[in-house]
Amino acid sequence: MKTAVSLFFGLFLLAAGPARADSLDGNWCSKDGRRMHIEGPTVTTPGGGKMQGDYGRHTFSYIVPANESGAGSFVFLQQWSEEKMKMFIGADEASARQGDGQEWNRCAPATS
C-alpha cells in the first residue's frame, strides 16, 4: 500500500509540471534580438517572412527567402531542451549541420 501511495504522489508531481508541449512550436528569441515563430510547418523567419518549412517535432528546416539576408541558405533548427534550440546555417543541409550553431531561447511571455 505504501508503494502505491508513493507512486501516486510521484505521478501527481510529474503531472503538475509545465503544461507546454515538448516541441519547437512557439516563439524563439536570439541573443542579438532576432525573433522567430514556429507553428507546425509554418515559420515566421527572423527577417519577418512567413513560409512553410520541413517540420518535425524537434527539428525544422527551410531555405531563407530571396528578400532576406542570407537568401538561399539552408537553415536547420534543432531543439535541445524545452527552452533552448540551435540554428545551423549553411549552403546546403550537410554544411548547415556542421559547426556549433547559434543558440536561441524561448521568448519571455509578453507583458502589457
Q: DSSP secondary structure string, 15-49?
A: HTS----SSS-EEEEETTS-EEEEETTEEE-TTS-
Domain map of the chain by residue range? Answer: 18-106
**CA dist., res. 96 & res. 29, Å (int):** 20
Query: Which pLDDT value is given to residue 78?
Result: 94
Whether the per-residue pLDDT at 107 is higher than 90: the answer is: yes
- Please give the share of the chain, as a percent, with pLDDT higher than 90: 64
Q: Which tens digits make up the pLDDT trace of 47-101?
A: 999 999 999 989 999 999 999 999 999 999 999 999 999 999 999 888 888 888 9
**Residue 108 or residue 42, greater confidence:** 42
Q: What is the pTM of this model?
A: 0.76
Task: Tell me the pLDDT tens digit for each residue of 24-38.
Answer: 999 999 999 999 999
